[in-house]
Structure formats: structure tokens, C-alpha cells
Structure 1
């Protein structure tokens, strides 16, 4: 995913590197959405339906955040790609960029909090008798592995868009930083979620 992001950024770089980097950052939303789906699956294995009445609301709120973030990417990239912008327009589009990164950071915090809560429920005395240990705990382990790497990935983009640090740029930044702060994180997250999904594919929800 990061490799594709870099290619997108290079193709757009002649127009405007900021808009290119913004479009490339859209790859974070699918990662967060995938983590959301795995977390929902973990809760389904751990708790009976009667004990998770707000799962639908949680999914709706999360996907609204994801959709809003993608919309901000589209609007911000469209604005920043224009060759003639007034200072007010530049400021407005930069604000959209920052709002997008704040949304992504909120999504990560949302998933982190719910993963912690689900872990407590999985190991609670009252829940152990009801839990499908194999399915729920496998998915929670994948989430526990993924959360820190997702956080690094989101914070790296957040810091770049708020500071415009050239070392973090997809175009002119250090290759070592790209690999260490983006490629490795996406490989770990994707691999963890895929493996957990394969291991639990035949386990029924409660």
C-alpha cells in the first residue's frame, strides 16, 4: 500500500507535493476500517448478542468517521492541486488537510479504547464461561499487535501534515524513514489481521 502511495505521490508531484501526499494518505482509512471489522468480530466471539447492544451504533459512528476523512482528502487534494490559489484558499485547504489527520487520529483512538475494553471483557470472570476463547482471543491478539503499529503510521502522517517536515515527505523524505515508519507498519498490521482472519474463518459467532 505504501509503495502504491509513493507512486501516486510521484505522479502528482509536479502539480503539488502537498496534494499528492494528501491523496497518498487515504491508504490509512482502509487499514483502520479493516481493524474495525476485526474488532467487531472479536466482540462477536467474546460476547453474546444480548451483551453487545451498541455494536451497530459503534460501526455506524466509526464508518462515518472514515467516510468523512475520505471526503476531506478528496476536497483538500482537489483544492491544493490548483496552480493559482489565494493565501485564504491555501489556508482553507491546509485546514482541511489537518482536519483529515485529526479524524484519522480519532479513529485510531476509538479502536484502541474499544480493543482495551474488549480485552477486559474477554478475561473477565463473568465472560470466560460465555467466551469463544479460540476465536475472540485470536482476533484480540491480532488487534493488540496491530494497534501500536497503526498508531505509529497515523502519527507519522499527522506529524508530517502539521509540521511539513521534509524528512517525512513521500517525495523527498528519507527512504529509511519511509520503510521504518510506513512500510513495516503496514506489513505488520495487514499480516496480523489476515492471519487472524484465516485462523478464525470457520468459528461461529455467539
Structure 2
């Protein structure tokens, strides 16, 4: 829980404000999981703060929720291309993906249980960024990712909006986004490393 709250603070996910008149903030809850290894031994305990998005009202707390996802056939084609040309295939899981998405709507949420201080107990969280559970979370993350990856010189595929390509001389790089998992495919390891770290 502390790690999750530190991530929220570092990413400036919300600001504490007095509750606006006539606005009922959505709730939030903690979801706990145990991450185990192949033998069933507990590796880590994980706490995630999730907004109660089912309480959001269309036109008030959110508008658009659609976001694209890479098609399986596109992933298969790129894996076949990579195998044929002996390209490197790397996978990256973005841990706090949704915290990167910026909200366009004004969304207010109650403070997380166990983390409200007595002097701020009446305040609510005005969300600046999306968090898990919000109806528009995946969309806002996808829009932010698209902006950021194009700054690195990647070009979005017109027919498959979750596949990106970048060519620089003989260096070839492909990037496939599937919600918060990324496949990085290419023929130059230093370029792949810079993509993965970027």
C-alpha cells in the first residue's frame, strides 16, 4: 500500500481539494494480491488502489472509453517476420501504465482508506491522471502512449493503431502495444535498449 501511495504521489495523480458543491465523489478501494513463483511460493504482496468506476456518470465523469488493442494476427505476423529475419524480441510490462494517462474530465474521488490525515479528512481527491478502475483509464493511457512514442520517431500503422514502426538506415524497430504490455522487435540491440529504457 505504501509503494502504491508513493507511486501516486510521485506521479501527481491527484490534488486534495474541498468537495465542490453538488458533486458526489466516486469511491475507491484497495485490492490485494499475492504474486507467486512457479512453485507457488509467495514472491511479493501487492496492494493496488482502484477507483469505483462503476459509479461514474456518462457525460459527467467520463465521455469516451474506446481504446484500440493489437490484434492477435498482427502479433503473429510480426513474430513470423522476427523469426525469419532473426530479429530480437523483447517484452516489457509497464507497472504503472494507467498513472501516465492524463484525464480530460473533472473526476473527484474519496481519499484512500487509511491514508487521510485528520486535518484533511473532509477533502476529496481531484484526479489529474487516470487510475485503475476508471472507465476512461485505458483510453487515456493509450492516448498518452501514442503521443510519447511518436516523439521517439515511431510511426503508427494506419490499419493497426497499436503497431508502430521505425526505420533508420539498416536499423529496423517495431513496437506492439497490448493494453500495458509492450513487444519490442528489432535488429539492433542498443536501439532496443534505448527504446526499453525510454
**Is TM > 0.5 for Structure 1 vs Structure 2?**
no
TM bucket (normalised to shorter chain) is under 0.3
- Greater helix proportion: 1
- Choose between structure 1 and 2 for higher RCO, CA contacts under 8 A separated by at least 6 residues: 1
- Greater strand proportion: 2
Calculate the TM-score normalised by the size of structure 2. Answer: 0.27
